[in-house]
Amino acid sequence: MHYNTELNNHGLKADPFKACVGPRPIAWISTVSADGVDNLAPFSQFNNLSYNPPMVMVAFQPGGSEEEAFRKDTLNNIEETGCFVYNMVPYALKDQMNITAIPKHDLDEWAAAGLTKADSIQIPAKRVAESPIQFECKYLQTIHFPSSSKKGVIDMVIAKVVEVHIADDVLTPEGKIDFLKIKPLGRMGYWDYTYVNDVFSMAIPGLTAVQMAGMGGDRIKKD
């Protein structure tokens, strides 16, 4: 089958688009407002943009109905304070993550989910102490895209990662991240999720030692 995205004439009971791109990493984003109120919410329109320098992006769709659309608190906080924290979601914290997705402005997500706040090094936003990996991110810019609905615009935030926190117990003896221990959660389509439960390595044939090291994340010694 195929369909025209302008007409959305797929004829299916549920829109398949988001299910066609997955699993998507989940950014559990913690922010703080200009008034000092901490916020925590998950977003799956997220990924890294570059590793040198390390940068990430996250896109925000307006919340609410077309008649009563509103900007997300997370987006407002990022633009007001210039920072946020990406917290990786392991399978063990899936229920806590889901609680923080409840769209209530007066909800204390941290208390509701029973999570611990940890201080960051360079920014005021708190980190989720229970998360195995966290990025402290400094805001660079917001790119606005027109929405096909009446909700307004799509906002894509770009940020630079300035501090990376990795729990010691998720590192292998070789110094690599143990994905099978973390079991990172991924977003699929509809209300479906998945997690990493298998890993395999596959190098590109014909690469030089320097190319292999760079693409594999190994440190390259400089003369």
Q: Does domain 18-216 have CATH number 2.30.110.10?
A: yes
| Nearest Cα residue to 69 out of 153, 1, 137 | 153
Domain boundaries, the chain: 18-216
Number of H helices, E strands in the chain: 5, 12
Q: Would you call 52 exposed, middle or buried from its count of C-beta atoms within 10 A (0-12, 13-18, 19+)?
A: exposed
Structure tokens at 104: 């209530």
- Residues 220/214, Cβ–Cβ less than 8 Å: yes
Q: Which tops the pLDDT comparison, 51 or 113?
A: 113
| Amino acid code (one letter) for 155 | D
- Answer yes or no: is pLDDT of 5 > 80: yes
Q: What is the rounded end-to-end Cα distance, in angstroms, of the chain? A: 56
pLDDT tens track for 9-38: 999 999 998 899 989 999 999 999 999 999
* pLDDT score at 81: 98
pLDDT band at 210 (very low <50, low <70, confident <90, very high): confident
Which of the residue ranges 100-109, 139-148, 211-220 would you say has the lowest mean pLDDT? 211-220
Q: Quote the strand ranges of 90-173, DSSP E.
A: 117-118, 127-128, 133-146, 153-166
pLDDT tens track for 106-123: 899 999 999 999 999 999
* pLDDT score at 126: 98
- Answer yes or no: is pLDDT of 65 > 90: no
* pLDDT score at 222: 47
pLDDT tens track for 181-196: 999 999 998 999 999 9
| Amino acid code (one letter) for 161 | V
* pLDDT score at 223: 43
- Answer yes or no: is pLDDT of 206 > 70: yes
pLDDT band at 67 (very low <50, low <70, confident <90, very high): low
Sign of CA dihedral 9, 14, 20, 24: positive
* pLDDT score at 142: 97
* pLDDT score at 128: 98
- Mean pLDDT, the chain, integer: 91
